[in-house]
Chains A and B, each alone.
Chain A
Amino acid sequence: MASSREKRLSFSAGLRDGLPIGLGYFPVSFGFGILALSGGVPALGAFLISALNLTSAGQVAGLSFITAAGALTELALSQLIINLRYSLMGISLSQRLSPRFTLPHRLLASAFITDEVYAVASSRREPLEPAYWYGLACPPYLGWTAGTLAGALAGDLLPASLTSALGIAIYGMFLAMLLPPAREDRAVLFTVLCAAILSSAVSLIPVFSFLASGLGVILCAVLAAAAAALCFPRAKTPEGEEAGRA
């Protein structure tokens, strides 16, 4: 059993790591709130979507089904495909959980898996503790839901130059997560370049327009990671260490 002091430290370490994610989410979900409002979804509806889904691509796709009054079965299928990456991430994370991560913790904690939470959690050396995970998940969840509500309520009141400038914040954060490891490890640089080129090709070349944006992203990421794994297989990690994270 972890002492309550250990838990508190672990929780606040998570909060610290989650803060930039939450701040990065705010402007993005603010944009989603505006988008929902312009599609005729009331502020409470937009808030509920974000509070229950906590995902960008899936929500934008879902919104298009709502405004077009689409079929629920097709909505379910599209969500399944777009969210496939969370299943992959879940498997990847499941390799790194501490023994304290019991089933009830797993069932609760999994609701907060997002691309960014995953990336930060999996860049940790030590096994993941539930307290760290919950700390890490708090700011993104608050930022995402509060941003949506603010956007749906007040989106029209802010100057456009400010809201559009906030749109880049989350991508700036992604670059800050990518560049330092890419500087130090050629294999990571290779992965990053591969994924960027593939994803740009898929989104800019009209032939690929049949791929939903969430699906295109996951396909490109899987291809790039597979190429890197083939070209730069990782050395076996010493006994007792988790799957060799940098």
Chain B
Amino acid sequence: MLELSFILPYVLVMAGVTYLSRALPFSFFRKKIKNRFLLSFLYYLPYAVLSALTFPFIFSSTGSTATALVGTAAALLLAYLKMPLLVVALASSAAVFLSSFFLA
């Protein structure tokens, strides 16, 4: 096991850089953006980030592509039906858990 005194400098550097990259633009950027392209870009960005975070990583999120596909299908169906976030999240986990007894 590594000593805390060895880990601490790494943790502090990580935390410092991460905080500054969050805090500086959020705190000091005060201009209202008027540019149409930029406004459109910022509108689409959260959807793009979520999608790029999900695919393809959802397929390897359970340790088995087969059960991940079952979980993805369950999530897609329930999300398409506009179920609440938590319902979709837990139902996809449940689908993975149940299917893991049949698909190894």
Residues of A within 8 A of B (CB): 19-21, 23-24, 27, 40-42, 44-45, 48-49, 52-55, 58-59, 62, 65-66, 72, 75-76, 79-80, 83-95, 103, 106-107, 109-111, 113, 115-116, 118-119, 122-123, 160-162, 164-183, 187-188, 191-200, 203-204, 217-218, 220-222, 224-226, 228-230, 232-234, 236-237, 243-246
**In the assembled complex, which residues on chain A have CB atoms less than 8 Å from the CB atom of B19?**
110-111
Determine whether the beta carbon of A169 is less than 8 Å from that of B93: yes
Determine whether the beta carbon of B11 is less than 8 Å from that of A49: yes
Apart from A59-B14, A164-B63, what 11 extra A-B contacts exist at CB < 8 Å?
A24-B89, A52-B11, A119-B46, A165-B96, A175-B92, A180-B79, A181-B47, A191-B44, A200-B55, A222-B45, A226-B41
The docked-state distance in angstroms from the alpha carbon of A245 to that of B97 is 36
**In the assembled complex, which residues on chain B have CB atoms less than 8 Å from the CB atom of A194?**
48
**In the assembled complex, which residues on chain B have CB atoms less than 8 Å from the CB atom of A222?**
45, 48
Most buried by A among B26, B36, B54, B93: B26
The docked-state distance in angstroms from the alpha carbon of A44 to that of B5 is 12
**In the assembled complex, which residues on chain A have CB atoms less than 8 Å from the CB atom of B63?**
160, 164, 167
**In the assembled complex, which residues on chain A have CB atoms less than 8 Å from the CB atom of B88?**
172-173, 175-176
> In the complex, how many angstroms separate the beta carbon of B9 from the nearest chain A beta carbon?
6
Interface size on B, residues (CB 8 A): 81
Which of B39-53 touch A at CB < 8 Å?
A: 39-53
**In the assembled complex, which residues on chain B have CB atoms less than 8 Å from the CB atom of A118?**
46, 49
Determine whether the beta carbon of B13 is less than 8 Å from that of A75: yes
Determine whether the beta carbon of B41 is less than 8 Å from that of A188: no
Most buried by A among B25, B29, B72, B100: B25
**In the assembled complex, which residues on chain B have CB atoms less than 8 Å from the CB atom of A54?**
18
**In the assembled complex, which residues on chain A have CB atoms less than 8 Å from the CB atom of B42?**
91-92, 95, 225, 243
Determine whether the beta carbon of B82 is less than 8 Å from that of A180: yes
Query: Digit string of B64-94 for contact with A (CB within 8 Å is 1, else 0)?
Result: 1001100110111011101111111111111
The docked-state distance in angstroms from the alpha carbon of A45 to that of B39 is 41
Determine whether the beta carbon of A65 is less than 8 Å from that of B33: no
Chain A minimum-CB-distance residue to B3:
A42
**In the assembled complex, which residues on chain B have CB atoms less than 8 Å from the CB atom of A90?**
22-27, 29
The docked-state distance in angstroms from the alpha carbon of A64 to that of B83 is 37
**In the assembled complex, which residues on chain A have CB atoms less than 8 Å from the CB atom of B80?**
179, 183
Residue B58 contacts which of A80, A111, A171 (CB distance < 8 angstroms)? A171
Determine whether the beta carbon of A109 is less than 8 Å from that of B26: yes
**In the assembled complex, which residues on chain A have CB atoms less than 8 Å from the CB atom of B64?**
164
Q: List 24 A-B contacts (CB under 8 A).
A: A40-B2, A75-B14, A80-B21, A88-B25, A90-B27, A91-B29, A92-B42, A103-B27, A107-B23, A122-B46, A165-B93, A167-B61, A167-B63, A174-B53, A176-B88, A179-B79, A182-B47, A188-B44, A191-B47, A193-B51, A204-B56, A217-B52, A229-B40, A243-B43
